[in-house]
Amino acid sequence: MYEFRFSTDVLNPDTFLYNTGPIEARDSENFNRRQTYSVTEVRGGVRRELGTGLASPPCNIGPRSTPNYAGLANAAVHELDDGIVVR
């Protein structure tokens, strides 16, 4: 079993907007609500942390906000221990 824990950071708490302009990279200043996560494997009651601080891609909310969504999504693919890949 795999356990995912998500954390959301709001860069500009003075706005409710998800983005304040086009998101062209994961670290774009326009990406206001960034999300990261950790992955833990649980087998036979033994927990093993596989990754932390893994970046999630932004939501695909349209070409004006995420003009190169495929690139953003591909940048958020993470290869962990033992060849495990999370997307």
Average pLDDT, the chain: 95
pLDDT digits (tens, 9 = 90+) for 9-26: 999 999 999 999 999 999
- Residues 62, 64: Cα–Cα separation, whole Å: 6
Residue 12 contacts by C-beta under 8 Å, 6 or more apart in sequence? 20, 32
Model confidence band, residue 81 (pLDDT cutoffs 50, 70, 90): confident
Which of 4, 85, 10 lies closest to 49, judged by CA?
A: 4
Kindly tell me if the per-residue pLDDT of 34 is higher than 90: yes
First to last CA, the chain: 16
Kindly tell me if the per-residue pLDDT of 82 is higher than 90: no
Task: Write the DSSP symbol of residue 19.
Answer: B
Q: What is the pTM of this model?
A: 0.87
CB-facing half-sphere around the CA of 77: CA atoms within 13 A: 8
